[in-house]
Structures are given as C-alpha cells and as structure tokens.
Amino acid sequence: MDFSLNDDQLQAQKMVRAFVATEVIPTIGEWDRKQEMNPTTLPRMAALGILGVCVPVRYGGQGFDYVTLGLVCEELERGDTTLRVVMSVHMGLNSLSLLQWGTEDQKQRFLVPQATGEKYGAFALTEPGVGSDVVNMTSTARRVGDKYILNGEKMWISLATKAHHFLVVSKTNPDAGHKGMSAFIVTSDMPGVTAGDIHGKLGVRAGSTGWIAMQDVEVPVENRLGEEGEGFKIAMSALDNGRYTVASGATGLIRACLEDSMKYAKERKTGGKPIAEHQLIKQKIGYMQQWYDAARLLYLRAGWLKNQGIRNTRETSVCKWFATDHSVQAALEAVQIHGAYGFSDEYPVERYLRNSKGAVIYEGTSEIHQLMQADYALGNREDRPLRQELPAYDPEFWQSEPAPAAGD
Ligand code: CAA
C-alpha cells in the first residue's frame, strides 16, 4: 500500500494551491458579500488547465489521474466552495460522463471544448418537485423522427446561466420507471432553452446556481448520450464522479476550518494565555484533525479505485457522506473557536459554515447516503456491471496525443 503522491500529483496540487492563495482567498469575501461570481474565475480556471485536469490529452485535457482531481478539489475548496462546485458540475458530472458514455463524435464536439475550457458544462437532473426521488421526474423527451422534443424545468442547477452544454436527463417513456429515462446533451443556444439565476441562498453566494426551462427544444438524436432508457444509470454514474469531487472538496473545507482555527487559537488570549492552550479548544482542534485525516483517506481510496477502473459507488457514497457531514461539524466548531468574531464576516469561518450546508443536501442528501450504506451492508444493494464503465487511468493513453489521421 503506497500513500505517497507522485510528482504529477504534487505538481498539480502545488499549482492550484498557489492559485487559490494569490487569486481566490484575497478577494472571495468581497464576491461572497456581493453575491456574485467573480467574472475571472472560470477563465482563470480554464487558462490554468483546471477545467480539463482529469481528461486525456487527446480530448483536450491535461491527462492527470482521478486522485489528482480529488487533490485539486481539496485545494479549490480550501479557498471557496464555489470553485469546487464548478469542478463538480463541469468535470465530475458532465465531462467525465462524456468520457464514460460518449461516442467519439460526442467527445470531439463536446468534451474537447469543455476540457480546454472554451465551453462550460453543467448537469440538469433535479426538478422543482423532484430531488432524491429521481425516478419521479416530470420533464419529457419525445422522439419525433431523428429528433427528440424536450419539455420541462430543471432547478438548483449550478452554472445554469454560465454553461454552454447541459447534460439533461428526461423521461422518454413515463410509464417505464427508471428504465424510461434518457440523457441528452442540450446546448444553451438551442431555441426554447431559457435559464435564470437563483438569489438569496444561504451559501455558495459567489457561485452561480439557477434554473433551466425547456420548451419544445429540438435535440438531434446524435446528442443523446448512451442508449434510450439508459438515462437513470448515466445520471447515477455521473453522481459517482460528482460525489467524489464534493467529498474531496469538503475535505478541503475541513482543512480550512482547522487551519484558520489553529491560527486564531494561537493568537487570541484569554486568562493570560493563548486559547490554543485551553483543553476544550484543543478538543475541538483534535476532532477537526481526525475528521480531516479520515475524509482525506476516504477520498484517496475512492480515487485509487477509479484509477484502477474498479466500481466505487459505495466507497464514493460513504466518503461524500462522511466528508460533508464533518465539514458542517468542523465549520460549527471553527465559528465557536472564533467566538463573537466567528459570528461576523470579519473572519471567513462564518462563510465556511454557510457554504458547508449545501453539500449535505446536493448530490445525494446525507440521509440518502446513510440508507445506501445500510442497504449495501444488509445485502439489499449491489452494483451490477455497466455497458460502459468509467475508463481506468492508463497514463500511456491519457497522456498521449491522438495518432495523426491517414494523409496528415
Ligand atoms: N451507476 C450506474 N448504474 C446505477 C448506479 C450507479 N451508481 N446506481 C444504480 N444504478 C442502476 C442499478 O444497477 C439499477 O439497474 P438495473 O435496473 O439494471 O438493475 C438501476 O440503476 C436502478 O437502481 P436502484 O434500484 O439502485 O435505484 P434506486 O431507485 O434504489 O436509487 C437512490 C435510489 C439511491 C435514492 C437514487 O435515486 C439517488 O441516488 N438519488 C439521489 C439523487 C441525487 O443525488 N441528486 C442530486 C442531483 S445533482 C446536483 O445536486 C448537482 C448540482 O448542480 C449541485
């Protein structure tokens, strides 16, 4: 068993850590207060290759492995949750689904521009009346000749007003339960697609969250991802990757709480000594360290399984559940350590607390993950092989340029 990071992983981690320290942390409080996304966030992430970090070079990406994706998400959320959310939807839920399920033509048309950062991707599953119970969605996709006509609304969509490509799941056969759903690549410029932002959120205020409405949107059959009826499985497999980015990001949030609390506890004095010397403060710091270590090991295990091409639905679910639940706990403790200052936006810990809450709701609530873990343990749930698995990390393939076409 090898717990060390290789040179590529360390290099990516160092680059993102420097970006966060110099370009995110100094100004993020201001953007959070304004409740706006910094307009340079997405272009800078694109320019640094972050938006294609875990996509093979031949598809416009940087060719790093799945563990590196986790490390990058940890570093991004050390700065602010909003940057990690970008990775969850653009990379985890959308780009990796194209890599897993897309045809070569779809990869060229949609994955390449997403990996280079020329276009942004998002994921549209949730609806105004349907979250955990995906199977009861009401949006529809009706086949007419070589097109599908999509109608319905999608809600709580990260990057709704920024993304160019949406991975949309809708019902192609409303009577067939989870076998009656299909997945489509819908572009924001298709007639009938409208999107708007949602304001007044508790957290991720410097991020973009919104809704999408589809009215008689004509989607060519070439934009269907996977076979008709595979939409539920595609959505669940996308969540296996999205949840991994949420978990590794939440690990970064625990680290932010720990680092900021340690700094404050060493500076702040009560009774003539730094509060870091009081046992009840040490208890909180000790717990945060324990949560950070456990969350990190859980996501590294999930990343390792992805690298080997081994199905990891259960391991990703348990790490998403653990890391996000404990990021809320860590943020509560961080605010407590900061006392009254923790209750004001003079220190970032109040933002950490507000940001932590979303991740125990999206990409499977903690309750859904708890039920899934119980069902795996009780033998009620097992993973069956898929028609198309997420490709294992093979450095030779991931880092090589495509062979030149005949005649080039
Ligand atoms: N990958 C591929 N296929 C999978 C799968 C996976 N991870 N999980 C299940 N499947 C397959 C099963 O093998 C099964 O296939 P067969 O019919 O061939 O056997 C089929 O899908 C149905 O599976 P289940 O019976 O296990 O499905 P279920 O009804 O028990 O699932 C659930 C229930 C676990 C609650 C699931 O609906 C779920 O995870 N809900 C939460 C949804 C969610 O996370 N939403 C978040 C929205 S995205 C978001 O928040 C992003 C954002 O923008 C912030």
Query: Which pLDDT tens digits describe the chain residue by residue (408 residues)?
Result: 889 999 999 999 999 999 999 999 999 999 999 999 999 999 999 999 999 999 999 999 999 999 999 999 999 999 999 999 999 999 999 999 999 999 999 999 999 999 999 999 999 999 999 999 999 999 999 999 999 999 999 999 999 999 999 999 999 999 999 999 999 999 999 999 999 999 999 999 999 999 999 999 999 999 999 999 999 999 999 999 999 999 999 999 999 999 999 999 999 999 999 999 999 999 999 999 999 999 999 999 999 999 999 999 999 999 999 999 999 999 999 999 999 999 999 999 999 999 999 999 999 999 999 999 999 999 999 999 999 999 999 999 999 988 766 655
152 and 219 in contact (C-beta within 8 Å)?
Answer: no
Residue 308, pLDDT score? 97
192 and 217 in contact (C-beta within 8 Å)?
Answer: yes
Could you say which of 77, 127, 333, 363 is catalytic?
363
| CA–centroid distance, residue 232 to ligand 1 (Å) | 6
| CA–centroid distance, residue 89 to ligand 1 (Å) | 17
In whole angstroms, give the CA distance from residue 356 to residue 324: 7
330 and 253 in contact (C-beta within 8 Å)?
Answer: yes
pTM of the model: 0.97
3-state secondary structure of 182: strand
Give the gyration radius of the chain's Cα atoms: 21
Could you state, in order of their start, the residue ranges of all structural domains in the chain? 7-120, 123-229, 233-378
Q: Is 210 in the pocket of ligand 1 (CB under 6 A)?
A: no
| CA–centroid distance, residue 233 to ligand 1 (Å) | 7
Residue 374, pLDDT score? 98
In whole angstroms, give the CA distance from residue 338 to residue 166: 41
Q: Is 123 in the pocket of ligand 1 (CB under 6 A)?
A: yes
In whole angstroms, give the CA distance from residue 354 to residue 259: 18
123-229, superfamily in CATH?
A: Butyryl-CoA Dehydrogenase, subunit A, domain 2 (2.40.110.10)
**Cα atoms found within 13 Å of the Cα of residue 276, Cβ hemisphere only:** 12
Instruction: Looking at the structure, give the CATH architecture of the domain made up of residues 7-120.
Output: Orthogonal Bundle (1.10)
Per CATH, is 233-378 categorized as 1.20.140.10?
Answer: yes
In whole angstroms, give the CA distance from residue 383 to residue 237: 11
In whole angstroms, give the CA distance from residue 33 to residue 277: 34
Within 10 Å of residue 22's Cβ, how many Cβ atoms?
9
Q: Is 315 in the pocket of ligand 1 (CB under 6 A)?
A: no
Which run of H or E residues covers position 181? strand 181-187
Q: Is 132 in the pocket of ligand 1 (CB under 6 A)?
A: yes
User: Ligand 1: which residue has its CA nearest to atom 40?
Assistant: 132
Count of residues for the chain?
408
To which residue do tokens 């680059």 refer? Answer: 15
Residue 408, pLDDT score? 56
Q: Is 382 a catalytic residue?
A: no
In whole angstroms, give the CA distance from residue 225 to residue 106: 8
DSSP 359-401: TTTSSS-HHHHHHHHHHHHHTS--PPPPSSPPPP--HHHHTSP
Alpha helices in 59-205 (DSSP H): 66-79, 81-86, 96-101, 104-106, 112-116
